[in-house]
């Protein structure tokens, strides 16, 4: 890789850092290569690791610095910066790209799974409740007393089931909300 390409790619990969961190790093590496007597078109592959790895190290260092600077101040913006820098740091390592993809897909699957359960429970509950009401109504217009009793009982049972399902659904959603807030709460403490 040519020196000029190395520096350009390094700059691109350091975009996430504040401007003064970025320019300081580029200044350092440019000076370093000039001190080795290398010009724009000379090959620098043997000097440094890939721009990706070098940028990864610098970002990692700045991330540590960031956390050390704001141990108490937990504003959302700072957290976002730290999380963002962490993600970029992870992504800059070649091995972890597939790992991140796997984690992402698993998270997506879980989300779809939970969503499907909630949706099916809701549909079930509504359908049962509706059918229950219909049974209750119909029970008043049947020919025999026996039929009325059977339909009335069925209607009550269905409505009871519907109420149970809806209560379960609400507590499930509450549980999910609690789990999410736990996860986010932990991230903030770090």
Binding site for another protein (CB under 8 A): 21, 24-25, 27-29, 31-32, 34-36, 47-49, 53-54, 57-58, 60-62, 64-65
Question: From the CB of 93, what's the least distance to another protein, in Å?
Answer: 15
DSSP state string for the chain: -BHHHHHHHHHHHTTTS-HHHHHHHHHHHHHHHHHTT--TTSB-TTTS--HHHHHHHHHHHHHHHHHHH-SS---HHHHHHHHHHHHHHHHTSTTHHHHHHHHHHHHHHHHHHHHHHHHHHHHHHHHHHHHHHHHHHHHTT-SSHHHHHHHHHHHHHHHHHHHHHHHHHHHHHHHHHHHHHHHHHHHHH-
Question: From the CB of 43, what's the least distance to another protein, in Å?
Answer: 14
CB closer to another protein, 91 vs 156: 91
Question: From the CB of 81, what's the least distance to another protein, in Å?
Answer: 16
CB closer to another protein, 64 vs 176: 64
CB closer to another protein, 9 vs 60: 60
Question: From the CB of 47, what's the least distance to another protein, in Å?
Answer: 5
- Give the chain's length: 190
Question: From the CB of 14, what's the least distance to another protein, in Å?
Answer: 11
Which whole-number Å values give the CA distances from 171 to 129, 164, 184, in the listed order? 19, 11, 20
CB closer to another protein, 11 vs 150: 11
Question: Taking a C-beta distance cutoff of 8 angstroms, is the pair 44, 2 a contact?
Answer: yes
CB closer to another protein, 63 vs 165: 63
């Amino acid at each position: 890789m040519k020196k000029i390409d190395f520096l350009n790619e390094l700059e691109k990969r350091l975009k996430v850092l504040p401007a003064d961190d970025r320019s300081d790093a580029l200044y350092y590496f440019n000076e370093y290569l000039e001190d080795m007597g290398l010009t724009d078109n000379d090959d620098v592959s043997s000097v440094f690791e890939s721009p990706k790895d070098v940028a990864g190290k610098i970002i990692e260092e700045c991330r540590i610095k960031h956390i050390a600077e704001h141990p108490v101040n937990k504003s959302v913006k700072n957290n976002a910066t730290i999380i963002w820098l962490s993600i970029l740091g992870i992504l800059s390592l070649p091995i972890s790209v597939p790992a991140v993809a796997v984690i992402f897909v698993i998270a997506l699957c879980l989300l779809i799974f939970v969503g499907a359960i909630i949706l099916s429970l809701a549909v079930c509950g509504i359908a049962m409740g509706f059918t229950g009401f219909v049974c209750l109504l119909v029970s008043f217009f049947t020919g025999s007393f026996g039929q009325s009793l059977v339909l009335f009982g069925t209607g009550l049972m269905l409505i009871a089931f519907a109420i149970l399902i809806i209560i379960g659904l609400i507590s499930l959603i509450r549980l999910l909300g609690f789990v999410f807030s736990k996860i986010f709460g932990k991230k903030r403490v770090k």
